[in-house]
Structure 1
Amino acid sequence: MKMAAKLFGLLFILCIAVGPLAAQQLDIIQTESGPVDGLPNPIDDVVESSITAKKRVLPYDQPREADIFWKKRIWRIIDVREKMNLPFAYPKRPFVSILLEAINNKEKPLRIFADEEFKTRLDTSAVNGLLYKIDTVMVTDPVTYEQKQQIIKSDVDINADVQRIRVKEIWFFDKESSTMQVRILGIAPVLPVKTSTGDKVGENVLFWIYYPDARELLAKEKIFNDQNDGAPMTWEDVFEMRYFSSYIYKTSNVKDLRLQDQFTGRDLLMEADKIKQEIFNLEHDLWTY
């Protein structure tokens, strides 16, 4: 009886001693979760960055149709694996993730289209269905030991798989201002089609976005600047200043053919360069007296 009383007393003393320690640990956890101590939240910078958040997008000048002396539609490919395009695949904030968040925004979703003419609206659920793959595997029932099929769904690493982005733009010469100008019309991430062995057999366009709709969004999204962390750039700056590397894969033509449907190998690269040179020569010739 005396031994039981001693054990009870010892347990009582331990409970009294551990109580404050547990409460102190609880206070630490609460302190780490928020500024309960009255101190401001720490910032990973010298000062709060607000330049990007306050940036305003300048509207495009609207030229008269009669002043457009010449125009040409161009389709380009941005390969995110190129050195100049590495910010498109920045792990902390990939460009594709920004677009996916925008189209899934419940308050103001970004419009997406199934075609490059922006005529057929695309439902967001159709895009989300491409972001995971469904496989059928055989599993063994632990009770009956019978083999049965089970469908499993695994997410697609969209940021790693999307390595090419299509850009549709239009070049035109405005005779009122005597300038050659370019306007981006649409942007489309491309998802490769692979076999079960991982071999690439083609590619599918996830969706097209109408670029003028996305300018406000892209102007609020910073891009990683490897030259200067104190000079914030946005994705709108990148596209407007054309700070990306790309190559032409299609121009407007009567048969609506891509360059790869007409040329191969070295001839394909030379034809893409020829198109760029023709645009340069046209502007140069118009300024030659």
Structure 2
Amino acid sequence: MEIKEDMIFDKKRSRMYHDIKSITLFVPSTLPSNTSGIEKPIGTFKYSDLVKVFRANPENAIWFNAENDAQHKNLADAFELWLFNSYITKVSNAGDSRLDDIYGGAQQGILAAAQTSADLIEYEYNLWSF
């Protein structure tokens, strides 16, 4: 799954917001029926449309909390609260390229993703330093 979002800093509230724009589902490259060995996109969905579906189907759109059975949440709430684990695959650039394409390989792409994540954390931290 790939999530596209905008990071927005609200000057009035001094807060960083993550505005999810879309979610793309992929067929995993490791799936036995995927003979090409390449991730293939199944579909891209506008996040606001998915929220409506999640809210309309609360019995099926459940994020399971493995640590606490009393804290299962709706998938819309789980995305809003960032209860998922992810890594950065692409940042805005002129060529619309992924990090592994820019840096020349999967291993360098992973290192670039970690560095980009650290840079974003430092950027947000510096917003608070006066």
Same fold (TM over 0.5): yes
Q: Cα distance, 1:223 vs. partner?
A: 2.4
Retained in 2: the 8 A contact 1:184–1:211?
A: yes
**Distance verdict in 2 for CA 1:250–1:199, change over 3 Å:** same
Which digits, 9 at most, give the CA deviation of each residue in 1:133-191, with x for residues without a partner? xxxxxxxxxxxxxxxxxxxxxxxxxxxxxxxx111111111112111110111111112
Partner of 1:231: 71
Q: Cα distance, 1:266 vs. partner?
A: 3.4
**Distance verdict in 2 for CA 1:228–1:208, change over 3 Å:** same
Partner of 2:14: 178
Q: Cα distance, 1:222 vs. partner?
A: 2.1
Q: Cα distance, 1:192 vs. partner?
A: 4.4
Q: Which has the larger radius of gyration?
A: 1
Identity among equivalent pairs (%): 28
**Distance verdict in 2 for CA 1:198–1:253, change over 3 Å:** closer
The amino acid of 2:53's aligned partner reads L
Query: 1: distance between equivalents of 2:52 and 2:33?
Result: 41
Higher RCO (C-alpha under 8 Å, 6+ residues apart): 1
Retained in 2: the 8 A contact 1:174–1:181?
A: yes
Retained in 2: the 8 A contact 1:248–1:272?
A: yes
Q: What TM-score do you get using the length of structure 2 for normalisation?
A: 0.82
Aligned residues: 124
Retained in 1: the 8 A contact 2:89–2:98?
A: yes
Q: Specify every segment of 5 or more residues in structure 2 that has no aligned partner in the other structure, as ranges.
A: none
The yes-or-no answer on 1:216 pairing with 2:52 is yes
Retained in 2: the 8 A contact 1:190–1:203?
A: yes
The amino acid of 2:39's aligned partner reads E
Q: What TM-score do you get using the length of structure 1 for normalisation?
A: 0.39
**Distance verdict in 2 for CA 1:175–1:202, change over 3 Å:** same
**Distance verdict in 2 for CA 1:197–1:179, change over 3 Å:** closer
The yes-or-no answer on 1:203 pairing with 2:44 is no
Q: Specify every segment of 5 or more residues in structure 1 that has no aligned partner in the other structure, as ranges.
A: 1-164
Query: 1: distance between equivalents of 2:106 and 2:37?
Result: 18
Match of residue 280, structure 1, among 98, 121, 124: 121
Q: Cα distance, 1:199 vs. partner?
A: 4.3
Retained in 2: the 8 A contact 1:185–1:212?
A: yes
Q: Cα distance, 1:228 vs. partner?
A: 2.5
The amino acid of 1:284's aligned partner reads Y
